[in-house]
Amino acid sequence: MSEAKTLDVAAAYDVWAPSYDGYDNPMVYAAGYALSQAPISLAQKTILEFGCGTGRNLAALAARGASNLIGFDFSSAMLAEARKRDGDWTLFQADMSAPIALPDQSVDFVLFSLTLEHVADLVPPLQEARRLLRTGGMIKIIEIHPFLSLNGISAHFKTAAGEEITMPAFAHPFQDWLEAFDQAGLRVTGLKEWQARDFGTDAPAKILGRGLDWPWVVDWTLSPA
């Protein structure tokens, strides 16, 4: 068996982009399901996704009434896929660990979904999200559950040729999250730890086969402190 090939984050997602939406990925299913169940009102709201990938989450939020969709990603190939979904979205390439070229208090809802595992320091992107958030706004974070990430589970995939690709990932225990929220001036207003049982009997076999108590994603809701 050949060893997995490790690429930097942008290069890995450039390779993955054309097949990402069709890839059998239980973590993406879990995160998408969690987002679909979020009790949020988005009518006429401006949405920003940090690490928007192929735009699948932006499309889901647009279907819930969001009027202005903004997203950025480190991968140019992922952005190319997102642009195929809707030409009216504002999409650009950026690194979430650096300042984002948007004005203060310009968005109502910020989403991070399966992206912060690739960031060593959680504070800079969270501080940027806080800066960009309007009064009364909300931040939603849906990420690999710490119980899994601390046991070495992270984003990876196989190419059509069967080559396994991995990329840099950082495991963040709950204490890291809480300290980062505090430093970024955010408070937790909601928390759910999604287990296999929460996804129902129609969930993929890869989810249900792990056992009903197996945690998949942690789902944070945040507002300015």
Q: Taking the model in full, what pTM does it have?
A: 0.96
* 3-state secondary structure (DSSP) of residue 144: strand
Let me know if 168 is exposed, middle or buried by CB neighbors in 10 A (0-12, 13-18, 19+).
middle
CB-CB neighbours of 163 under 10 Å: 12
Confidence check: pLDDT of 65 > 60: yes
Q: What is the pLDDT of residues 78-130, one digit of tens each?
A: 999 999 999 899 999 999 999 999 999 999 999 999 999 999 999 999 999 99
The DSSP-derived string for 114-142 is S-GGG-S-SHHHHHHHHHHEEEEEEEEEE
Element (H or E) spanning 90, and its range?
strand 90-93
pLDDT of residue 187: 97
| DSSP secondary structure letter of residue 156 | E
pLDDT of residue 30: 97
Strands 133-144 and 107-113: parallel
Cβ distance 86 to 144 under 8 Å? no
Confidence check: pLDDT of 2 > 70: no
- Quote the distance between the C-alpha of residue 152 and its chain's center: 18
At residue 28's C-alpha, the angle toward residues 223 and 102, to 5°, is 45
pLDDT of residue 97: 95
Give me the half-sphere count of Cα atoms (radius 13 Å) on the Cβ side of residue 25: 19
Is the pLDDT higher at 9 or at 4? 9
At which residue do the structure tokens 């996704």 appear?
49
| Cα 177 from Cα 124, distance rounded (Å) | 12
Provide, rounded to the nearest whole percent, the portion of the chain with pLDDT above 70.
99
Confidence check: pLDDT of 211 > 60: yes
Q: What is the pLDDT of residues 136-180, one digit of tens each?
A: 999 999 999 999 999 999 999 999 889 999 999 999 999 999 999
CB-CB neighbours of 74 under 10 Å: 22
Q: What is the pLDDT of residues 31-56, one digit of tens each?
A: 999 999 999 999 999 999 999 999 99
Candidates 161, 221, 153, 163; CA nearest to 193 is 221
Confidence check: pLDDT of 1 > 70: no
* 3-state secondary structure (DSSP) of residue 197: helix
Return left, alpha or beta for 63; rule: phi > 0 is left, psi -120 to 50 is alpha, else beta. Answer: alpha
